[in-house]
Structure 1
Amino acid sequence: MSMDHILSLAQELGSRLTGWRRDLHRHPELGYQETRTAAIVTEHLRNLGLEITTQVGGTGVVGLLRGEQDGPTIALRADMDALPIQDLKETEYRSQNAGVAHLCGHDAHTSMLMGAAELLTGLGKPQHGNIKFIFQPAEEGLAGAKAMIDDGVLENPKVDAIAGIHMFPGLDTGTLGVSKGVAFASTDSLKLKIIGKGGHAARPQEGIDAIAVSAQVISALQNIPSRMVDPLEPVVITIGTISGGYMGAALAPEVEMVGTVRTLSAGVRSQLPSLIEQVVSGVCSSFGAGYELSYGEGYPIVLNDEDMVDLMTETSEQLLGRKVWNYIKPSTGGEDFAFYCEQVPGVFFRLGSGNADESTRYPLHHPKFDLDETALPDGVAMLSAIALNFVNRT
């Protein structure tokens, strides 16, 4: 099967890919609530004649294209969930669900994997080996990948490798980006309560101002990345919400904060809970305040396998006839594709979705995020060609 033929078949799906993507965009669903999306995916896979398993990890759907003979199994993954953000675009396909929108491209990921399933099924069964299509729920902070793994998505048949794709407005349409090795940061959660002592704002010496202490804590936490770990190791500590106090004429007895902690190093990640405790304890002690600290492990680091990265880049050159990919810096964003990469060799790469129209250049998670839909066939072709190259290379 020539790469030109695969690309041509993907391009023929262009209008249908756009139709699927826009329908999903109009009807976004949050993590573990993707019942409509899962039903659409299930019907599509059933019409293709694939082996189907539903309700994997909650609302996940898995399709299996089994080969004529035993061989390696590669999985292709797309995430289906949307974000709890109001869609502010002025398009006919804007979200119809108040406060929920596909602002991270998951509607496109789902559509491209539906397209890849159709393209690969149309080519017939692989001579040997299998291709597994994983439609995953709840990537946005709810660890849908882990839920699917716990439900056995990497078994029966056992998955030997996995590939995933993400739309990216920072890259031009028609180009690809990939990181060799670490690709995305670990993302852990931080919840902190500063416990002071209330009192009148006119006599602050009689109380312990939790807001004043909190300000010192927030500033002191930034000394961890700048002064307490190797400056060549990225660490991002962000306090995203803060609340406390009752009125302007009273000292706040308590302040609650929620944040995230990100790093690109597993070793540094293991140090951060104790370093944060050390800083918070020291600041609070110096002002006579107490604290309650909760540190929760979230997504691990996404570690791309070097051989899978090479397969992806070589496949793209075969498919497109030229080099359209570049190595890119790791992202300090989180991605639960990390859980798959802990189990099997994987590659997670980015597909450019930005053009000269500024509407395609809004960053991920922006209320006006949109994408260049002409990139969708390229994604289908890449996923399909990677899968075929993997099962045919042994």
Structure 2
Amino acid sequence: MNAPVTRWTAAGAAELADVVALRRAIHAEPEVGLHCPKTTAKLRAALDGLPLEIHESTSTTGFVAILRGGSGAKGDNGRTVLLRGDMDALPMQEETGLDFASTIPNAMHACGHDSHSAMLVGAARALCARRDELPGTVVFMFQPGEEGYHGARFMIEDGLIDIARPDAAFALHISPNMPSGMVVSRAGPLLASTDSLNFTVKGRGGHAAMPHDCVDPLPVACEIVTALNSFVARQIPVTDPAVLSITKITGGSAYNIVPGEVTMLGTLRTLSPQTREKARAGLIRVAEHVALAHGCTAEVRIDEGYPVTMNDARAIDLVRGIAEEIDAENGWRTMPAPMMGGEDFSYVLREVPGCMAFIGVAAEGSDPDTNPPLHNTKMTIDEAVMAKGIALHCAFAEAVLEGGLPQ
């Protein structure tokens, strides 16, 4: 292991106790959405006294903390790197039984954002301690609203990444279903775009004993579901796939009444802008024409979700090299295929080259395959892994500042 990576692994270990305490404090008081004032206050307090410029988001409680290193502090053209940690929780009732479990009803850090933001604080402390040696600028992005609220997009629209425009960006996400300490990612698409689908099928209601006097939208809605799945299976190539799930159908009020309207909800996931556009247009066309064939109408509204999370191959090479230096045998695994979940760090990666990686936090002796997964009420993590997460952040930042990635 070379000297720089060794330095950052030692720094991560030194920060671990304080970072664990911070993570537990955040975990006990989770907040959902774009406005997380208690979490923001804890993070700001943990950064107090460091040589950082703080710039607040105007539309969220997020903020960026900017460290101008030896070159950046002198006002020259040193590089800039962005590191992100999200801070929001999920609307779930925690069932872990931990001493520091959530004290807030129906709110839980079941996706690890408490550890993400705490690790970023540890990285900020470690990098600030070597400020004069850094040949550029580090932007620490503390972001709420990742869980469906487009927090990264709002912070970008607030101009926060333009204060010190990054040359590269990096984010780390924990996974309880990967071996402890293993770093996993891939070049190209990592996670899917996420669009929400809203269908309204309208007919003409009436007495269920006389359906011939009605235009029943219920069987039409069922036929639309079948037709939509056929469209995806037959017109979207498996080499650039889409996943369509209709997850809710609502209609009717009694056993003897044909409803006049049925609503359906679903989600569309894709891995490229081209397939996303083709699938959206096809879903609208199929729904409208199937409804028309039966004397109904279909209205389709697509709420645009996150873009595809697209990793830059050069950034992946940097992270892989760092992970393998830390642990040559078990430090890295290339993900064989993208996952169809979504992530709003995709907004940052649409602006700046970089990558996201997963880090395994399965506790020693547990089975990663059967551990409660992300978004589960019993999800827990191996907190010791956060030391490695701090080191990864720091080593990635230093590698970019010293010449990695941009060409």
Structure 2: which amino acid aligns with 1:363?
P
Instruction: Give 2:283's aligned residue.
Output: 276
Q: Report the Cα distance in structure 1 between the residues aligned to 2:94 and 2:221, rounded to whole angstroms.
A: 34
Is 2:263 the counterpart of 1:256?
yes
Matched residues in 2 for 1:127 and 1:177: separation? 27
Q: Describe the superposition over 1:25-66 as per-residue Cα deviations: whole angstroms up to 9, x where unpaired.
A: 111111112111111111222222311112354111111110
1:387 aligns with 2:397: yes
Question: C-alpha distance in 2, partners of 1:95/1:113?
Answer: 21
**Residues 1:334 and 2:342 aligned together:** yes
Provide the TM-score with structure 2 as the length reference. Answer: 0.93
> Which structure has the highest strand share of the two?
1
Q: For residues 123 and 319 of structure 1, do their structure 2 counterparts lie closer, same or farther at Cα, with a shift above 3 Å needed?
A: farther
Residue 153 of structure 1 deviates from its aligned partner by 1.9
Selected match of 1:60 from 51, 59, 62: 62
Q: In percent, how many aligned pairs have the same letter?
A: 34
Matched residues in 1 for 2:329 and 2:137: separation? Answer: 28
The CA distance in 2 between the partners of 1:126 and 1:153, in whole Å, is 25
Aligned to 2:169: 162
Letter aligned with residue 391 of structure 2:
A
Structure 1 Cα separation of the partners of residues 133 and 231 of structure 2: 52
CA shift, 1:120, in A, is: 1.1
Residues 57 and 149 of structure 1 are in contact (CA less than 8 Å); yes or no, is this contact kept in structure 2?
no
- Equivalent residues, number: 394
Match of 1:181 in 2: 188
Q: Deviations over 1:239-259 (max 9, x none)?
A: 223222111221121111222
Runs of 4+ displaced beyond 4 Å: none
The one-letter code sitting in structure 2 at the alignment partner of 1:339 is Y
Equivalent of residue 220 in structure 1, options 224, 227, 231: 227
For the residues of structure 2 that align with 1:242 and 1:367, how far apart are their CA atoms? Answer: 26
Give the TM-score taking structure 1 as reference length. Answer: 0.95
Aligned to 2:24, which of 18, 22, 25? 22
Which 10-residue stretch deviates more, 305-314 or 47-56?
47-56
Distance across 2 between alignment mates of 1:309 and 1:213:
47
Cα offset, 1:341, TM superposition: 1.0
Aligned residues of 2:57 and 2:158 also touching (Cα < 8 A): no
Helix, strand or coil for the counterpart of 2:247? strand
Post-superposition offset of 1:123:
2.1
Please say if 1:206 is aligned against 2:213. Answer: yes
Deviations 1:171-198 (A, max 9, x none): 1011010111111111112111111221
Instruction: For 2:99 and 2:207, locate their aligned partners in 1 and report how far apart those are by CA, in whole Å.
Output: 55
Cα offsets for 1:242-293 (capped at 9, x unmatched): 2221112211211112221101122111111210012102221222111211
1:80 corresponds in structure 2 to 87
Which of these residues, 25, 33, 36, is aligned with residue 34 of structure 1? 36
Instruction: List per-residue Cα deviations over 1:207-260 (Å, max 9, x = no partner).
Output: 122222211111221112211111222211112232221112211211112221
Secondary structure of 1:247's counterpart equals: coil
Aligned-partner residue type, residue 197 of structure 2? L
Are 1:104 and 1:364, in contact at CA under 8 Å, matched by a contact in 2? yes
Match of 2:379, as an amino acid?
A: F
Cα contact 2:79–2:167 (8 A) shared by 1: yes
Greater displacement, 23-32 / 360-369: 360-369
Structure 2 residues not aligned, in runs of 5+: none
Contact persistence 1:138–1:144 (CA under 8 A) = yes
SS in structure 1 at match of 2:38: helix
Query: Where does structure 1 lack aligned partners over 5 or more consecutive residues?
Result: none
Contact between 2:57 and 2:155, CA under 8 Å: does it hold in 1? no
Structure 2 residue 374 is matched with structure 1 residue 357? no
Partner SS, residue 263 of structure 2: strand
Q: Say which of 385, 391, 395 aligns to 1:375.
A: 385
**Deviating more after overlay: 326-335 vs 124-133:** 124-133
Checking the alignment, whether the CA contact within 8 Å between 1:53 and 1:62 is kept in structure 2 is yes
| Contact 1:52/1:64, CA 8 A, preserved across alignment | yes
Map of 1:304 onto structure 2: 311
Residue of structure 2 in register with 1:140 after alignment:
147
- Using the TM superposition, give the Cα deviation of residue 321 of structure 1 relative to its aligned residue in structure 2, in angstroms: 4.8
- Aligned CA RMSD, in angstroms, stands at 1.7
Shifted more, 204-213 versus 98-107: the winner is 204-213
2:39 aligned partner, one-letter code: T
Q: Contact conserved, 2:232 with 2:279, CA < 8 A, in 1?
A: no
Contact 2:28 2:104 in 1 (8 A): yes
Deviation digits for residues 342-367 of structure 1, max 9, x if unmatched?
A: 11111100000113336982121112
CA distance in 2 between counterparts of 1:235 and 1:120 reads 41
In 2 relative to 1, CA 191–179 (structure 1 residues): closer, same or farther, beyond 3 Å? same
How far apart are the structure 1 equivalents of 2:88 and 2:260? 39
Q: Is the 8 A contact 1:197 1:207 kept in 2?
A: yes
Alpha-carbon separation, structure 2, partners of 1:108 and 1:127: 25
Separation in 1, partners of 2:133, 2:402: 8
Bigger shift: residues 26-35 or 122-131? 122-131
Change (3 A) 1:4 1:56: farther
**Partners in 2 of 1:169 and 1:312 — Cα distance?**
20
The alignment partner of 1:315 has SS state of helix
